[in-house]
Amino acid sequence: MESNEVLDKLPRHLLSLIIDQPYTSYTAQDHAVWRYIMRQNVRYLPGVAHPSYLQGLKQTGISIDRIPEMYGMNRILKEIGWAAVAVDGFIPPAAFMEFQAYNVLVIAADIRPVDQVLYTPAPDIIHEAAGHAPIIADEEYSAYLRDFGRAGTRAFSSAYDNKMYEAIRHLSILKADPYTTFDSIEKAEAELDYLSKLQEAPSEMALLRNLHWWTVEYGLIGSLENPKIYGAGLLSSIGESYNCLKTKVKKLPYSLDARNYAFDITTQQPQLFVTPDFQHLNTVLEQYLDTMAFRQGGSDGLKKALGSDTTCTVVYSSGLQVSGKLVKIHNDNNQPVYLNFDGPSMLSHNYKNLEGHGISNHRTGFGSPLGKIKDINSIETMSRGELAANGIVEGRELTIEYISGVQVKGRLDKITSFNGQNLLFSFQNCSVQFNGIQLFKPEWGVYDMAVGEKIISAFAGPADPDAYELQYPAPAEKTHHIQYTSKTLELHSLYANVRSVRETGRNNDELFNIWQTLKMNYSDEWLLPLEIAEELIKNKDNTGIPEGIICYLNLLAGKNEELQKLIEDGMLLFTHH
């Protein structure tokens, strides 16, 4: 991987998702698909896209003529403070957001097959490199992407989200493979439809992904009457970029309400949201952030952490951060008074692991009270002298009783503080009880009691990912490596020959031979005949063959509406020479 200053800052746990771009695996037909779509974009988008799109194409070093080598793109992307990495299809949403938070563009390495030129349900290099990359050259929009990514790293997901992700990834992999059977796709669609109808309350991440979809992927900008395109899903879909501006697609003003609109990746969207400008995107994002557990904390934040059923972090009002899997919240009068974490747990401050309190020290879990202590004002900011005046001295046996009834009794061994904030009391020979239940026994070893009356924040993932040894394992199901038939491989060689003629300026004789082979063996082929006709017309061929190809293409266009649009749009490119 060709690195740059941006990539060098990526945390280790994201690196397992990065793959080498399989550049030599792209066929000549793949490059032709890229060229067709990019030329259509350059032809059509100037009138309907945000003005920064075409300028961004130049700034990000994206070729119109052939699939870009993304790590070569990095030499140019670094000039605008971004980088690109290749991944295998859909990656977990939290990881996608975290890459974005580090100004790294995640590019699915595959490219859509020729029968999905107008729209593809799977992420591909056209969507990512030609859709996302150009628009990030706009500084205001780039800042929004980064801020959105940071929000995504904190958002709680649910077990249901994970099931939906796996189902969507599976379906997209099947649909991107032209040799997948109809029955396999139908079965995968039924599984996704079944999950979709379970109607579980959406998690923070699910709502955030809705906002991401209706802005970053499918956003419009300007007025409701005359919007422009800036969403990557629209910019990279020559079918939907055309259809989305029609009146049949409802246009709604973008607001926080967009989080309540779910989406279907397998079809074109029935409504889209229009933001007046990029600044408004951040306004709505801030409104959503105010609803999230990492800003709210409290009982609701703890409930989200508990419901996530995975590693999370809760932050005490002292500043102590506890990371692990929250498995139980003990309550008194509906207020949380004691928290239990199971499995590897870690204590941190300012997102750095406290020495002696990593996952090796808390291998089996962590538990601690919160709330007010009887007869003592807040101990969070007390000096050592003030603590001593209240009988809290290192080396002394003491009993700390909370108003909730939680009782901690043992010998205070150590007080851990940072910048005047008391974070942790560590006890030897300690017992902890609540409502007759023994929560900690002396024989279990050192008891570390978190200091803090309230939970002021809760968010997904560990506070210090490296110290926690966080990992994102690469998805188990890989995108399919397509095994082409001998006939298809021959077609690819014909594409390569046409490209060679175009690039070397050789005479037309070889194009005539290729056209004859196409007529005999590939009667449904539309893209290569377009390329041949264009090249012959450019070379001022007067044999009548270009006219014959155009007649053939017009007959082919009558088969269905999609082919008609592809062919007619392809012919429009002839006038650009």
Q: Yes or no: say if 351 and 464 are a contact pair by the CB < 8 Å rule.
A: yes
Angular region, 445: left φ>0, alpha ψ -120 to 50, beta rest: left
Residues of the chain with pLDDT under 50: 577
Give the per-residue pLDDT at 559. 86
Q: Yes or no: say if 208 and 288 are a contact pair by the CB < 8 Å rule.
A: yes
Q: Whole-number mean pLDDT of the chain? A: 91
Give the per-residue pLDDT at 435. 92
Dihedral sign from CA coordinates of 567, 571, 576, 577: positive
Q: What dotted CATH number matches 7-286?
A: 1.10.800.10
Query: Could you give the dihedral angle defined by the CA atoms of residues 498, 501, 504 and 506, in that order, rounded to the nearest 10 degrees?
Result: 180
Domain ranges in the chain are 7-286, 309-468, 486-576
Q: Yes or no: say if 339 and 365 are a contact pair by the CB < 8 Å rule.
A: no
Q: Classify domain 309-468 by CATH architecture.
A: Roll (2.30)
Give the per-residue pLDDT at 178. 80
Q: Yes or no: say if 107 and 7 are a contact pair by the CB < 8 Å rule.
A: no
pTM of the model: 0.88
| Closest to 258 (Cα-Cα) out of 239, 231, 240, 236 | 231
pLDDT digits (tens, 9 = 90+) for 250-266: 999 999 999 999 887 76
Give the per-residue pLDDT at 326. 98
Task: Give DSSP secondary structure letters for 319-331.
Answer: SEEEEEEEEEEEE
550 Cβ neighbours under 8 A, 6+ residues apart: 533, 571
278 Cβ neighbours under 8 A, 6+ residues apart: 138, 140, 141, 144, 221
Strand partners, 457: 315
